[in-house]
Amino acid sequence: MRELANVNGAICALEDAVIPAEDRGCLFGDGVYEVVRAYQGRLWGFRRHWKRFQRSLREIDLQPANLEEIRGWIEETYRSSQIPNATVYFHLTRGASPRSHAWSDPLNPSFFMSVRPFADRAIVAGVKVQSVPDLRWRRCDIKSLNLLPNVLAKQQARKLGAYEALLVDNQGNVTEGSSSAALAILDRTIVAPPQAPSILPSITREYVEEIAVALELAFQQRWLSLAEFRSAGEAFLAGTSDEVTGITHVDGQAVGSGEVGPWTREIQKAYRERIEQRRD
């Protein structure tokens, strides 16, 4: 069991991985990425993550000829790590070339991935979140390497004692967290923002929508103002790393009872059951 990397098909120890200094991913964030969790030796939701990865590639006009080979590299590298519970990160950039905003075809896309063990991050007591202006670009539906606004928002929230930043757009509506989807529960209805260029299509949110049907909860897509979100009966984050994590406070104000709500706990339980039963 060891932390591994893969650079353009070559597996190596993570600490030995080297990428070109003029890779456009380093210079411009010119690439897209995915993060997948593995549970008990199996990549969870990989088909859905791969579909989203392909969509992001299309949206930035990056279509490598060896895409299926890359998929094989991901699976092979994870198997070689022998880490049963892992975080698997991978990205594809447009390639390496002298620094210029525009690129000249053809470039050879550059692939990188890492496999690391993860500690179970289930947060039973719930978390506090802090509202932060959403300063990101207009194509958040692309899982781009350009994450500086997300990084700054998360850091601002942490400095204020919160776990996650709750991003709020110019209209005062909650869009999502800096690294997660943000959902609220009002009167047995899970409310999530509409799918739009300002929202990343969340894999975990997909699972939550499917779980809602089984729990006989309604699932509604509409914008929620920050004030509505704060006054919801329950709220939670959804993401690959955070799974389903209850929100107890927004900007220091309690959500509902100030504890993880009963429906959120039911969703958490159902999500974990799906993982254990391999129903992805």
Kindly list the catalytic residues. Answer: 143
Closest CA to 280 of 38, 69, 117: 38
Rounded to an integer, what distance in angstroms lies between the CA atom of residue 212 and that of residue 188? 10
- Residue whose entry in the numeric block shows the structure tokens 């600490």: 15
Rounded to an integer, what distance in angstroms lies between the CA atom of residue 129 and that of residue 251? 6
Check if the beta carbon of residue 168 is closer than 8 Å to that of residue 134: yes
Q: Crossing angle, helix 262-277 and helix 203-214, to 10 degrees?
A: 110
Q: How far is CA 107 from CA 4, 69, 104, in A?
A: 26, 18, 7
Rounded to an integer, what distance in angstroms lies between the CA atom of residue 30 and that of residue 8? 16
Dihedral of CA atoms 166, 176, 278, 50 in degrees, nearest 10, equals: -130
Check if the beta carbon of residue 129 is closer than 8 Å to that of residue 163: yes
Q: Any idea what DSSP says for residue 16?
A: G
